[in-house]
Amino acid sequence: MHSLNILLDCHCHSDSSPDGSDPISLMCEVAIEKNLSVLCITDHCEINQYYGEKYDRRIAQSNLLTRKAKVFFDNGIELLVGAEMGQPLQAIEFAELALKHLKYDFVIGSLHNVAGKKDFYYLDYASENIPLLLDTYLTQLLEMCVWGKFDSLAHLTYPLRYFSSKKEPYNLTPHKPLIDEILRTIIKKEIALEINSSGLRQKIGQALPSQELVARYAELGGRLITVGSDAHKAKDVGRGIPDVLKIAYYAGIKEIAVFKERIPRMIPIFFE
């Protein structure tokens, strides 16, 4: 396989996120070293903790620092201003406020925890009813997509990152009707589907969503795809992006969406 014509990363976290490690300047430097043409900083804005954990200030800081870095790195990389909006329906008035308060190029929609529970990262899966938990997650994710005031659905199947592995993959078959409904909803509302490469460097050993689900999205008529590493450290910027671009390409999707001022620009994928 020859090299891809494009490399871009539209899901990254700087030290403006509580779980991010590095400043935006370092993330840009690494992206340039790795020959990325586009980088979007999408720091966390967890709506259910908007004021309690100071996400209102964190996302404003990220927005400002990204705009400053954009000027400095203008000749090296296209730097875009983004946000990862988590759990918008758990405090919808704050979600609306966050969208109104700042201007973004790109807003990702995420669901990191179901209502009344901790982030999937912190759950004890030995004591959880996993099929019920996953059904609850997908149902709430569907409701979020019906609301739909974001540009791309991030890391569909996010919970699998924590209780599934390459050796013991979780069987999604009972949940596929709900997943299909989610995919049909984002297609109808012209919300992109993100292929997130983080799972490739974690125990699950596959992209989120998997190649199978990306193919299903394409089969249903979906064509808007974004890609992101979900890097929380500068060293992870761009990791796995060639692999997820190939997933899109072999699903029959020959263009990748890059959002600027909330409008998608389509960039062709081809191999040189």
Does 210 map to a domain?
Answer: yes
> In this structure, how many other beta carbons lie within 10 angstroms of the beta carbon of residue 121?
12
pLDDT (average), residues 58-69 = 98
Q: What sign for the dihedral angle of Cα 20, 21, 23, 29?
A: negative
Does 209 map to a domain?
Answer: yes
Does 179 map to a domain?
Answer: yes
Tell me: pLDDT of 1 over 50: no
Domain that holds residue 150: 8-268
Q: Could you read off the pLDDT of 258-267 as tens digits, one per residue? A: 999 999 999 9
Hey, what are 95's tokens? 């979600």
- Residue 270: which pLDDT band, with cuts at 50, 70 and 90? confident
pLDDT confidence of residue 272:
67
Tell me: pLDDT of 220 over 60: yes
What CATH number should be reported for the domain holding residue 264?
3.20.20.140
Q: Could you read off the pLDDT of 175-213 as tens digits, one per residue? A: 999 999 999 999 999 999 999 999 999 999 999 999 999
Does 75 map to a domain?
Answer: yes
Does 3 map to a domain?
Answer: no
pLDDT (average), residues 65-69 = 98
Q: Could you read off the pLDDT of 135-164 as tens digits, one per residue? A: 999 999 999 999 999 999 999 999 999 999
Report the C-alpha gap between 226 and 152 in whole angstroms: 7
Does 2 map to a domain?
Answer: no
pLDDT confidence of residue 271:
74
Number of domains in the chain: 1
Q: How far is CA 214 from CA 115, 178, 208, in A?
A: 27, 15, 9
Report the C-alpha gap between 213 and 192 in whole angstroms: 14
Mean pLDDT of the chain: 96
Residue 43 φ/ψ region, left for φ over 0, alpha for ψ in the -120 to 50 degree band, beta for the rest: beta
DSSP H or E stretch at residue 128: none
Hey, what are 175's tokens? 């949940």
**Is-contact 8 241, C-beta < 8 A?**
yes
Cβ-Cβ contacts under 8 Å for 238 (sequence gap 6 or more): 7, 9, 30, 31, 34, 36, 229, 231
Q: Could you read off the pLDDT of 35-54 as tens digits, one per residue? A: 999 999 999 999 999 999 99
The model's pTM: 0.96
**Is-contact 142 181, C-beta < 8 A?**
yes
Alpha helices in 89-235 (DSSP H): 92-101, 130-147, 160-163, 176-189, 211-219
User: What is the percent of the chain where pLDDT is above 70?
Assistant: 99
**Is-contact 77 31, C-beta < 8 A?**
yes
Does 56 map to a domain?
Answer: yes
Does 113 map to a domain?
Answer: yes
